[in-house]
Amino acid sequence: MAQSKISLTRYLVEQQRADGLIPGQLRLLLEVVARACKSISQAVNKGALGGVLGTAESENVQGEIQKKLDIIANEVLIEANEWGGHLAAMASEEMDSIYVVPNRYPQGEYLLLFDPLDGSSNIDVNVSIGTIFSVLKKPDDTPGVQEGDFLQAGSKQVAAGYCIYGPQTTLVLTVGAGVAMFTLDREQGSFMLTQEDIQIPADTKEFAVNMSNMRHWDAPVKRYIDECLAGKEGPRGKDFNMRWIASMVADVHRILMRGGVFMYPWDKREPEKAGKLRLMYEANPMSWLVEQAGGAATNGRQRIMDLQPSKLHERVAVVLGSKNEVERLTGYHDPL
Ligand SMILES: O=P(O)(O)OC[C@H]1O[C@](O)(COP(=O)(O)O)[C@@H](O)[C@@H]1O
Ligand SMILES: [Mg+2]
Ligand SMILES: [Mg+2]
């Protein structure tokens, strides 16, 4: 655990200087995202006092009823980022199509994708929620910005992270050189480095899945969970614990802190959908963080970050976390 007082700004400047890992524009972009998260954190903290709880009278492109905080968080991220000069466009769970930076502002070379508020069903019950983000570089061969510019595999990300609004507000980030964690010091108003080089243990005795969907799962997922549930007497020879927070951000944060395997597999409820979670602004950034921490992330058959997206709001099955468990469950599926 890092004890020295290193702010996110200093950390990013050092990363930029050390080996040119972060170009200046990307550093500024990440600072703006962090500032936006700070302001979302304040709104979350006010809760009922700030009038931010409850449902808005609208649906997003995925047909989900939006919460007031989904909309507030989306607006905060757009307003904070649109004028800074580092972005060409943004995409969000809460917007049907991409948001191109208006031409009254300087244009940058990056594309920012986000799930402004992850775990919306937990907002009104005071359980941890978060913001997930992913940064890509705009391909330079095309004039202007099109949705197609966003359709890049997760392996092309140049930065990814999340901010969790829980008992502490914590920002977790990768730029491709390990995973670092920053905790918001509310008195100073700054994110301070609290852990570097986070590592997920390769083995675990904890899984996270919504068990109420068990009857809808495919055979390999059912087999894996049945074997975990069989405990010491079963083929795994050990007892497993289960956690399901229903905020991906909080479940992944736990896995980064102490290991575990998280899954939201394909199921028979809506067979035409590959899964529930969204590839570009949920699965890809979380997969990169997990891989950077020594874990693995697949859709049951393929590495998530190798998948070529075909649309902005594409869904995907997700298995991520402790490497040996992800490999075991992936191995239970027939290869493609
Ligand atoms: O309610 P379920 O089906 O268990 O789904 C929970 C999952 O849905 C999500 O809430 C989806 O995120 P949003 O709140 O951003 O739509 C994940 O964070 C979480 O893992
Ligand atoms: Mg989400
Ligand atoms: Mg969301």
pLDDT at 16: 85
Q: Does 181 share its domain with 228?
A: no
**244 CA closest ligand 1 atom index:** 4
Q: Does 61 share its domain with 158?
A: yes
Cα of 152 from ligand 3 centre, angstroms: 21
**132 CA closest ligand 1 atom index:** 15
Q: Is the pLDDT of residue 85 over 90?
A: no
pLDDT at 4: 63
Strands 277-278 and 315-316: antiparallel
Residue 243 lies in a domain: yes
pLDDT category of residue 296 using cuts at 50, 70 and 90: very high
Residue 139 lies in a domain: yes
- Residue 274's CATH number: 3.40.190.80
Residue 317 lies in a domain: yes
CA angle 101, 163, 5 (to 5 degrees): 110
Q: Does 13 share its domain with 119?
A: yes
Q: Does 281 share its domain with 252?
A: yes
pLDDT at 60: 79
Kindly report, residue by residue over 92-143, the tens digit of the pLDDT.
Answer: 999 999 999 999 999 999 999 999 999 999 999 999 999 999 999 999 877 8
Cα of 309 from ligand 2 centre, angstroms: 17
Q: Does 104 share its domain with 44?
A: yes
Q: Does 28 share its domain with 105?
A: yes
pLDDT at 49: 87
Cα of 119 from ligand 2 centre, angstroms: 6
pLDDT at 307: 98
Token duo for residue 236: 């795994």
- Please identify, among 137, 172, 195, the residue that sits at the C-terminal boundary of a domain: 195
Q: Does 116 share its domain with 213?
A: no
CB 246 within 8 A of CB 119: yes
pLDDT at 140: 80
Residue 189 lies in a domain: yes
Q: What is the mean pLDDT of the chain?
A: 94
**Lowest mean pLDDT segment, chosen from 4-13, 84-93, 271-280:** 4-13
- Please identify, among 172, 195, 218, the residue that sits at the C-terminal boundary of a domain: 195
- Residue 51's CATH number: 3.30.540.10
Between residues 336 and 78, the one the model is more confident about: 78
Mean per-residue pLDDT, 12-35: 90
How many folded domains does the chain comprise? 2
Q: Does 134 share its domain with 243?
A: no
Residue 227 structural domain = 206-332
Q: Does 153 share its domain with 216?
A: no
Residue 2 lies in a domain: no
pLDDT at 58: 81
Percent of the chain with pLDDT over 70: 99
Q: Does 237 share its domain with 286?
A: yes
pLDDT category of residue 199 using cuts at 50, 70 and 90: very high
pLDDT at 52: 84
Residue 1 lies in a domain: no
CB 104 within 8 A of CB 83: no
Q: Does 258 share its domain with 191?
A: no
Q: What is the pTM for the complete model shown? A: 0.96
Answer whether 70 contacts ligand 1 (Cβ < 6 A).
no
pLDDT at 143: 80
Cα of 276 from ligand 1 centre, angstroms: 8
pLDDT category of residue 246 using cuts at 50, 70 and 90: very high
Kindly report, residue by residue over 174-194, the tens digit of the pLDDT.
Answer: 999 999 999 999 999 999 999
- Please identify, among 154, 174, 195, the residue that sits at the C-terminal boundary of a domain: 195
**Lowest mean pLDDT segment, chosen from 13-17, 56-60, 215-219, 306-310:** 56-60
Q: Is the pLDDT of residue 41 over 70?
A: yes
Answer whether 115 contacts ligand 1 (Cβ < 6 A).
yes
Q: Does 191 share its domain with 214?
A: no
Q: Is the pLDDT of residue 12 over 70?
A: yes
Taking CA atoms, 55 is separated from 58, 212, 222, 280, in Å, by 8, 25, 35, 25
**Lowest mean pLDDT segment, chosen from 72-81, 140-149, 289-298:** 140-149
Mean per-residue pLDDT, 145-159: 97
Answer whether 127 contacts ligand 1 (Cβ < 6 A).
no
